[in-house]
């Protein structure tokens, strides 16, 4: 079974740093792009960016470039999303998702369970 398991909920203060994770299993981790999606309360998903674990190449949405960093560790089949300085407006659920086999143009077919990030003073 293909699965993506994300790290647990986080409560942080503005200005804190944070790195959340997404561990893949049941498929060749280095053969599929992995993406990150933000979903704010009551809103639609927002595509943040993707990484190809085969060579760690990344692509970011202009809305998120410079605001977050996507990375991976293929030795443990894990992708990461990190912030260096959180803002209250980063409060949301963050999903990782595998892209269908192929290029970075493919849609996301398998999703993690989501990580809730709450940023509050």
Partner 1 sequence: QSALTQPASVSGSPGQSITISCTGTSSDVGGYEYVSWYQQHPGKAPQLMIYDVSNRPSGVSDRFSGSKSGNTASLAISGLQAEDEADYYCGSYTSTTTWVFGGGTKVTVL
Could you list the residues that contact partner 1 (CB under 8 A)?
43-47, 49, 59-63, 95, 97, 100, 104-109, 111-114
Nearest distance in Å: CB 13, partner 1: 26
Nearest distance in Å: CB 94, partner 1: 11
10 Å CB burial of residue 62 (0-12, 13-18, 19+) is: exposed
Nearest distance in Å: CB 24, partner 1: 14
CB closer to partner 1, 45 vs 54: 45
Nearest distance in Å: CB 27, partner 1: 14
Q: Are 94 and 114 in contact (CB under 8 A)?
A: yes
Q: Are 74 and 53 in contact (CB under 8 A)?
A: yes
CB closer to partner 1, 44 vs 66: 44
CB closer to partner 1, 53 vs 112: 112
CB closer to partner 1, 62 vs 75: 62
How far is 95 from 81, CA to CA, in rounded Å? 10
- Half-sphere exposure (CA, 13 Å, Cβ side) for 59? 9
Q: What residues contact 41, with CB distance under 8 A and at least 6 apart? A: 91, 92
């Amino acid at each position: 079974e293909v699965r993506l398991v994300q790290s647990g909920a986080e409560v942080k203060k503005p200005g804190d740093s944070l790195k959340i994770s997404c561990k893949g299993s049941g498929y060749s981790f280095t053969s599929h792009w992995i993406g990150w999606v933000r979903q704010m309360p009551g809103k639609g998903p927002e595509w943040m960016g993707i990484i190809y674990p085969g060579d760690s190449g990344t692509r970011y949405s202009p809305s998120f470039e410079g605001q977050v960093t996507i990375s991976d560790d293929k030795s443990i089949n894990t992708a990461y999303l990190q912030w260096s300085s959180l803002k209250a407006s980063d409060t949301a659920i963050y999903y990782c998702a595998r892209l269908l086999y192929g290029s970075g143009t493919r849609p996301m077919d398998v999703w993690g369970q989501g990580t809730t990030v709450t940023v509050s003073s």
